Amino acid sequence: MKGKPFCVYHAPSDASEKPNGKEFYRLVQDRIRDEDNGCVFDGTIFPKSISLRSFEVNGTLSFERCQFEGNLSFYSSSVRGDLSFRGATFFKKVSIGEDVNTKSSTRTNGCYQTTQVPGGVQALVSLTIDGDVRFEDAIIHGSFTLKKFSNGGKINLSSIAATRRASLSKISTGELECENAYFQNVVRLLDVVIAGKADFNRAKFNAFATIIRCDFRDLVYFSSTEFNSRLRIRNSRFKETALFERTKLTEASFPLCHFGEHAVFSDVDLKAVSFARAPIESFYFVGCNWLQFKGRAITIDVLGLKSSRKYEKIPSPLPAVRSLPGKDQRNASAKKLGELYRRLKRLARIENDELLASDWHYLEKRC
């Protein structure tokens, strides 16, 4: 913008005037449409909310180190290269794949395509990206939503800092990178398909984290990951090994999951892990710590017995948690618990741990 104190494509320097929202929005839209081989906005400050839609970008669309002072939406488009927000700062809501103002999850129009989600269901998607979706080192102060899109590369959330609710839903992607990510609020993964590896190593989750109906088709890593609140992985498929190595599990459950190989727990404190309705036969334990009562290993599932007084004096390992993880655990019957400990006993014997097998045998007979 020749002759103006503020350039819409670069960070302003001692600017006293800024273009109004409509002018700024139009200039950004025109710039994206006019570029034949992608578009670079690196370092730009976006002073107003902006909604980007109905684009066909033939290369990479880059917003690295940008500052978004309003809401950001990007949907109903296709990008032939990467979509990059590396090192960007977001002060309000971020929504990729859906309009940030959309209230209904049933919105459809001619811009939507279909993709496969777990269970073979066709899901509507409004955004296709051939390359990577990159948010590494980004700082997000508002809610963060990735929804209804597919990309051929990876979703990179490494070293991201998200202070509000984060949601990934109805997505199909090549890989998921969340190494060293920090999530202060609730995190939800719902109906996500990951064709390659998923890396959560050294990530930190400070609030409730849920993984529901997700399909992991390669290795999944949770090494040194911190779940400082409740973790619930439900009805999800893991085709290859899932590694929980030195993972902090404050409270966790794995109901109705399927592991094609193994879920390996190495040097993990299992005192607050529920095994009700979990695929125990696929679990492998190495150097783990179990909840103890009178010198014997137990699981927190026994605390769900409402009709029995046998274990009423067991000290709960969850002083800051109001309930056990899930209604099915709270209402567990003695019969179901007996079957649970019978399965744990068989697993311990397969692993040649007769001492642990004897503890599970004792609990089986007490239920």
Residues 139, 43: Cα–Cα separation, whole Å? 14
Q: Taking 60 as the threshold, does the pLDDT of residue 4 lie above it?
A: no
CB 55 within 8 A of CB 73: no
Both tokens assigned to 126:
């409004």
> What pLDDT, on a 0 to 100 scale, did the predictor assign at position 191?
96
pTM value is: 0.83
Kind and range of the H or E element at 22? helix 21-34
Q: Count of CB atoms within 10 A of residue 357's CB?
A: 18
> What pLDDT, on a 0 to 100 scale, did the predictor assign at position 99?
73
> What pLDDT, on a 0 to 100 scale, did the predictor assign at position 127?
87
Q: What is the pLDDT of residues 87-126, one digit of tens each?
A: 999 999 999 988 766 553 333 333 334 333 343 333 345 6
Q: In 171-216, which ranges are continuous DSSP H helix?
A: none
- 213 Cβ neighbours under 8 A, 6+ residues apart: 117, 118, 119, 190, 191, 234, 235, 236
> What pLDDT, on a 0 to 100 scale, did the predictor assign at position 29?
86
Q: Taking 90 as the threshold, does the pLDDT of residue 217 lie above it?
A: yes
Calculate what percentage of the chain has a pLDDT beyond 70. Answer: 78
With cut-offs at 50, 70 and 90, classify the pLDDT of residue 5: very low
> What pLDDT, on a 0 to 100 scale, did the predictor assign at position 36?
77
> What pLDDT, on a 0 to 100 scale, did the predictor assign at position 19?
58
| Residue 191 φ then ψ, to 5° | 55, 50
- 33 Cβ neighbours under 8 A, 6+ residues apart: 55
Strands 113-117 and 121-125, by their bridges, are antiparallel
With cut-offs at 50, 70 and 90, classify the pLDDT of residue 362: confident
Q: What is the pLDDT of residues 9-25, one digit of tens each?
A: 444 444 455 556 677 78
Q: Which tops the pLDDT comparison, 213 or 26?
A: 213
For 238-251, the DSSP string reads ESS-EEEES-EEEE
Q: What is the pLDDT of residues 163-188, one digit of tens each?
A: 999 999 999 999 999 999 999 999 99
> What pLDDT, on a 0 to 100 scale, did the predictor assign at position 275?
93
